[in-house]
Amino acid sequence: MTRRLPQQLAPGETHEHRVDRVLAHGRTAIQGWELLELGIYGPALVLDGAIQSTAGDEACYHEALHMPAQMARPDARRVLLIGGANGASLPRVLLLPALEHVTLVDVDAELHAVSRTARAGLHGTSLEDPRLDLVFGAPDAEVAALAAAGARFDLVIADTPDATEGSYSARLFAAERIGAIRDLLAPGGLFVTQAGQAHPLACGFTARVLATLRGAFADVALYTHNVPSFGTPWCFAIAGGDLSALHALEPATIEARLARLPAGALVAYDGETHRHMLALPRALREALARAAPTAEPIRLDAPAHVVVAG
């Protein structure tokens, strides 16, 4: 019998993938992992049942996570990347033209070691870059250590897994953690995170993420992009003191900046895509507006979880 990998989108609704082959699997001290061949998407990393990225559409997710903030802050010199040691995120950070230093904090050194061989194509030569400081440890503790050392960043990018029940990533959405990340930002700095599925009938998690961010930052923008393997468009949020530079971006300005990047560096993001990403569909806008009055900020003692396996 052909194995299927379900991803739950809403109560009673799942998106399934055909698993053609199990390439590798295992369990670290942090999480279970699989490398699977998924139908048209090719090799995919799956953590505790949740798809993280596939060869076929990882650019849709990672370029959406990184590029709007990078276009708003092309002058960013220091970046903190929380998560992403398994490939694809770091190469995008290294595209910043003024970058001087990037600190990558990840919780799972064991899985990173696997990824360096099994996902070498996603890493490229990024791990050899002299501007990189790669740190493994609990994100809470590492963020606190950076703050104690007086570190400040122009961009903080959270490339973390779904906030499933029992996962370490669920804690990273709590107001206590968001506040600590805010305090690491230099003047004009921006924080970027994935914010759950853009499903107008199941957007409770996103509404709580927005409530949490709005309690910590003066300005918050939500945007979406379709990640086909996820089965639904995905939400991302940018937060900071002033997002006027983000909202002022025009496609022509973005195209001029992208033209300075190495040929083929991006395959999913451009000026028109940026405009589309920030134009939220009416159904989602209205659903989030209805949810907002009762959406409580996420706290360590009142977490928010998503369900990914149907």
Catalytic residue IDs: 159
Which pairs with CB-CB distance under 8 Å and at least 24 residues apart come from 26-33?
Answer: 26/114, 28/108, 28/110, 28/111, 29/108, 29/110, 30/107, 30/108, 30/110, 30/111, 30/168, 31/108, 31/111, 31/161, 31/167, 33/111, 33/114
Distances (CA, A) of 247 to 29, 239, 240: 42, 12, 13
Two tokens at 267?
């395959």
| 191 and 183 Cβ atoms separated by less than 8 Å | no
Closest-CA residue to 158 (of 175, 173, 141):
173
Say how many CA atoms lie within 13 Å of 194 toward its Cβ.
29
Two tokens at 107?
């919780």
Q: Cα dihedral angle (231, 227, 220, 284), rounded to 10 degrees? A: -40
- Give dist(CA 107, CA 275) in Å, integer: 34
Amino acid at 66: H
- Give dist(CA 199, CA 219) in Å, integer: 23
